[in-house]
Structure 1
């Protein structure tokens, strides 16, 4: 298969200047502010986005150099397959977060709930729609006994270059 390449549509700016200390999930970063700078050629795509309170951001984990197939995630002491975790050290280092829009001004989108490192390349924005995106689930695997840690656990830098 031919390689797939993506071109960033913007840059995510945040108060998280390095991975260490950054919340590991957007649910643990409720009041953390940020800003998305959309590149000029993509501004037209922001039309009607102001009608949504929340968006899904897809971005590139730009500080990850080496993908891993097994990882020790932040909320457990055991190794797990990377696809059973939200580790950034993935074969395709793509992250996602759900953030709240507080304002859109020109090519800038002001957001809250930012669990993203400053200067992260933004790949895409999708509106969050609870009727589409919120589902009832039956099981959460190894996280069943660890998910309660999501609001207090911070990145410790274990997946950096």
Structure 2
């Protein structure tokens, strides 16, 4: 397996972890010129959204079992793989966010739930054709958890 290294970093937006209100957050993804030629973003501006894989670089705890989502005991104990919490074994986040601008190797995004300094591992255009087909379901508490997220 080839080693995984950051290809860029999140700049701006939030500097501290906060669970809700990500929809209005504007930040940049500065892609590494040592990794990419400026042509790597050619055509990306045709997309309204991108998927970003990043590292929860400030996560200090790791869960390998169950926990209450966000520590809220009103919600059921759930396995870490049934959550999107940052304290997973590899501290990886995946997010779909709006793409506002592409300027060379700088991407301006909105609604990216990563904080300033988060290493970026990959960026992909969001294609609705990759979205789930058919009904999508989840536990009842998830709607409450996500109510103010974006």
TM-score range, shorter chain: 0.7 to 0.9
RMSD: 2.3
Q: Which runs of 5+ in 1 are unaligned?
A: 155-161
Question: Please, what TM-score do these two structures have when normalized by structure 1?
Answer: 0.79
**Residue 47 of structure 2 aligns with which residue?**
52
CA contact 1:57–1:98 (8 Å) conserved in 2: yes
Q: Secondary structure at the match of 2:140?
A: helix
| Mean Cα deviation higher: 131-140 or 121-130 | 131-140
1:32 equivalent among 12, 25, 49: 25
How many equivalent pairs are there?
145
Question: Please, what TM-score do these two structures have when normalized by structure 2?
Answer: 0.84
Give the CA deviation at 1:138.
Answer: 4.8
1:117 equivalent among 115, 118, 122: 115
**Residue 73 of structure 1 aligns with which residue?**
69
Matches within 5 A, 1:77-88: 77=73, 78-88=76-86
Q: Which runs of 5+ in 2 are unaligned?
A: none
